[in-house]
């Protein structure tokens, strides 16, 4: 007689970065991923360029507030991304 046990069988975690070739056939014949380092570099350069745009010929503070706000928002997101990358192995 076979009886079900009360122990919970845990399934193995499927990696977020793994791609099953049946789902996306391009993974069989080529690269499939992202550019994390280049994305961060582009993000920091964009945030710095927004701050450099403060030196212009505009007169009002509205443009300055938008440039500063967007730049700070981008920098905050980039810092969170770096923090997430550093602590990803702990999870």
22 close to 63: Cβ distance less than 8 angstroms:
no
Q: What is the pLDDT of residue 30?
A: 62
Model confidence pLDDT, tens digit, residues 45-57:
999 999 999 998 8
**Is the pTM of the predicted complex or chain greater than 0.85?**
no
Model confidence pLDDT, tens digit, residues 15-46:
556 666 666 665 556 665 677 889 999 999 99
Positive or negative: CA dihedral 76, 78, 82, 85: positive
pLDDT for 70 beyond 90: yes
Q: What are the sequence ranges of the domains in the chain?
A: 35-90
């Amino acid at each position: 007689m076979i009886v079900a046990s009360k122990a919970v069988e845990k399934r193995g975690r499927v990696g977020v970065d793994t791609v099953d070739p049946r789902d996306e056939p391009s993974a069989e014949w080529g690269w499939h991923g992202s550019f994390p380092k280049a994305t961060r570099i582009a993000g920091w350069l964009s945030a710095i360029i927004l701050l450099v745009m403060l030196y212009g010929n505009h007169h009002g503070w509205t443009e300055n507030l938008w440039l500063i706000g967007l730049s700070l928002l981008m920098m905050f997101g980039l810092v969170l991304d770096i923090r997430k990358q550093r602590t990803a192995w702990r999870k």
